Amino acid sequence: MSRAGPRRALWALCATEITSWGALNYALPVVLHRVTAETGWPAGTAMTAFSTGLVVSAAAGVPVGRLLDRYGPRAVMTTGSVLAACGLVAVSQARTLPAFFAAWTLVGLAQAATLYPPAFAALTRWYGPDRVRALTVLSLAGGLASTVFAPLTAVLAAHLGWRGAYLALAAILALVTIPLHAIFLTEPWPRGPATARPRAHIRDTIRSPGFATLSAALALAGFGLYAATVNLVPLLIARGTGEAVAATALAVCGVGQVLGRIGYAGLSRRTTPTARTVGILAGGATATALLAVLTGPAAALVAAAAYAGAARGAFTLVQATAVSDRWGTRHFGTLNGVFTAPASAAIAVAPAAGALLADAMGGYTPALLTLTVTGLLAAALAARR
């Protein structure tokens, strides 16, 4: 196969992932205060609608994976882009809470067909043994989504209001992602016949030793890492560090994610899948423990945030490569959809769950220590594979 086609697909996906992540995931936190001021809805309720969409996305990952294996990424991701644009329009026009929840449910369906899982599946199939490099490039590009779309959304909302901002984002998403998915995701895609043999292969793989155990390990690890890092700012402010230091730590956490993703390629060449998975999950647990016990100085807290970010960045590529490294690329869309669904659901509820856990346990320190135990359990489960 010529490398020109996969390269074009990779760069197209870099552009569409930045746009999709930015419009679908990072815009709401920027305009949340405007949403609550206009509608009177509690901020927690509005964010629950957003989280509902993430849970729907996790659940939809399994059927979307089957569609991906059958029809390929071009049809799935182009359709997902259309749904995404419609979902953002629905968000902009929602006047009641039920309509707002319904709109985010539609966005969740679109996320399942446009974000990392289908893009990772396409690159895994097209790049074969070179997939880690392609996946790393894509995940690095996706990491720019908040950098690009947080300020863009703020500018749009300042001039158009939050409803107008979402209409503009819907137009941007449609203009960027629909044509790029339709035009550049055209590499050959084997279509498995609807016979018992593919179903048997999928069933045997899902029932194979370690599949469910490793899936559970990544769900536990993802929950712990995201609950800790998403709540980093309130954690540090509660420690008395001040908003400036807390914001710096969050920014450095983002830099750490980039470094973790860059370092993963070298790690994958020098370690076995099990060894690097266990190491990264244990590293995430260690970072969470440091955030739990460190009270200063500020430089130490920022360093711990960077360490946590690196673990989270590497975790993204652990998720992307876990199935292909162990069970190959045959029926990858279906298998990866089943495999990543628990982690996607855990990550979806992690931000709110982390805050609730801190409230229930009387502070972030005991909550993070509990999440450290969760991370260590995840590493132990991964070691069993």
Last residue of a domain, one of 159, 184, 209: 184
**Three-class secondary structure of residue 374 per DSSP:** helix
Distance CA 222, CA 225 (A): 5
Residue 107 located in a structural domain: yes
Write down the pLDDT at residue 195. 44
Write down the pLDDT at residue 354. 85
Average pLDDT over residues 165-193: 91
> Which of the four pLDDT bands, split at 50, 70 and 90, describes residue 193?
very low
Residues 232 and 254 in one domain: yes
Question: Could you report the per-residue pLDDT of 107-149, keeping only the tens digit for each?
Answer: 999 999 999 999 999 999 999 888 999 999 999 998 888 888 8
Say how many Å lie between the first and final Cα of the chain, rounded: 33
Last residue of a domain, one of 184, 209, 243: 184
Residues 267 and 171 in one domain: no
Write down the pLDDT at residue 191. 61
Residues 222 and 156 in one domain: no
Last residue of a domain, one of 137, 160, 184: 184
The tally of domains found in the chain comes to 2
Q: How many CB atoms lie within 10 A of CB 161?
A: 15
Distance CA 348, CA 56 (A): 9
Asked whether residue 381 carries a pLDDT value surpassing 90, the answer given is: yes
| Structure tokens belonging to residue 348 | 């979806």
Residues 379 and 266 in one domain: yes
Tell me 296's DSSP state: -
Tell me 12's DSSP state: H
Residue 190 located in a structural domain: no
Distance CA 371, CA 230 (A): 13
Is there a cis peptide before residue 118, judged by omega within 30 degrees of 0? Answer: no
Three state DSSP letters for 55-104: HHHHHHHHHHHHHHHHHCHHHHHHHHHHHHHHHHHHHHHCCCHHHHHHHH
Which has more pLDDT, 337 or 176?
Answer: 176
**Do residues 192 and 65 touch, judged by C-beta distance below 8 A?**
no
Question: Could you report the per-residue pLDDT of 305-326, keeping only the tens digit for each?
Answer: 999 999 999 999 999 999 999 9
Residue 17 located in a structural domain: yes
Residues 163 and 234 in one domain: no
> Which of the four pLDDT bands, split at 50, 70 and 90, describes residue 196?
very low
| Mean pLDDT, rounded, of the chain | 90
| Structure tokens belonging to residue 225 | 């890492």
Write down the pLDDT at residue 3. 67
Domain harbouring 269, CATH code: 1.20.1250.20
Question: Could you report the per-residue pLDDT of 198-247, keeping only the tens digit for each?
Answer: 677 788 889 888 999 999 999 999 999 998 988 887 888 888 877 778 87
Query: What is the sign, positive or negative, of the torsion defined by CA atoms of 71, 126, 214, 138?
Result: negative
Domain membership of residue 224 as a residue range: 197-383
Residues 231 and 110 in one domain: no
